[in-house]
Chain A
Amino acid sequence: MIFYNPTDNDVLTKRIKYNPRSAFIMTQLGGVKTNLLDEILSQLKTALNQKEIHSLDANSLITGKDFLSKIWNLALSSPIGIAVLSENMQQTTVANIYYELGLMNALGKETVVIKTPKFKIPSDFIRTEYIKYDNSFEKKMDSFLQQIFEQAEYYGVMADSLIAKPLLSIDYLRRAYLITQEDVYKNRALEIIKSNKFDEHTSMMVNSYFDIS
């Protein structure tokens, strides 16, 4: 896959540090959070911990780079994007979250919106899966995470079925590996890499998917 640097639109030619088995949490970070938002974030973290998925947000990366680069790197490196939206958030915060959600959708990541009961989803996101925060939140969140792991299995089967196109196959394995961090996907990708000749740039990108030096 070719990725573009968001700040100058040039093709990215450096290795990307991926974060397997992680979720990028897109929500309000600064300012005063409502008790409800704090409660949602706390329950979300518990649900992710139970599945051994570590959560990342824009405060997780401390770099000297600009904020857009930081967000872009998080969106690219994580397999899962979780937007948490509340009607009490400022419009600018909500706009930022939608930008990040759209970015993750475009990158083929697994995404979900968690919303407070009164928050209204705009029409462009009507097909994006969403979870309304209520008494059954824990059950719904567990179901969503279970579906993601099923999706990883699907990617694995797709990778096998598309083996005639090695790069397509590797891309499916990349997504399965990022979700599960299971070596079976990495090893299958290694076999494909060994049995095909890729140019230097492609090799570098593919190796970075699986953290191969």
Chain B
Amino acid sequence: MLYLQYANRSDDMSEKKKVVQVKNPKTGRYVKIDREKGRIVAHKKSDGPFKNVAVARKRN
């Protein structure tokens, strides 16, 4: 199960959970994933997270 932390909060939380982002330690860049389709949809070209996309993290 994922622990989701929101980069930017919004009213439409359930819609946002469909798309999450994870930081790849190898590149230091974020990867955007469509959880519903099980697909990597984008790799961020610059530093920092995608706006308005939840960050998926390991549960402690």
Contacts and interface: CB of A to CB of B under 8 A. Distances in A.
Interface string B10-47: 00000000001011111000010101111110000000
A153 B58 contact: yes
B: contact size bracket = 10 to 19
Of B31, B33, B35, B38, the most chain A CB neighbours within 10 A belong to B38
Label chain A's interface by main secondary structure: helix
Interface stretch (A12-20, A21-29, A156-164, A198-206): A156-164
A151 B58 CA distance: 12
B38 A154 contact: no
A: contact size bracket = 10 to 19
A156 B38 contact: no
Interface in A151-195: 151, 153-154, 156-158, 160-165, 168-169
Contacts of A157: 2, 22, 56-58
Contacts, number: 47
B57 A164 contact: no
Interface string A132-163: 00000000000000010011011011101111
Interface of B: 1-2, 20, 22-26, 31, 33, 35-40, 56-58
Interface of A: 147, 150-151, 153-154, 156-158, 160-165, 168-169
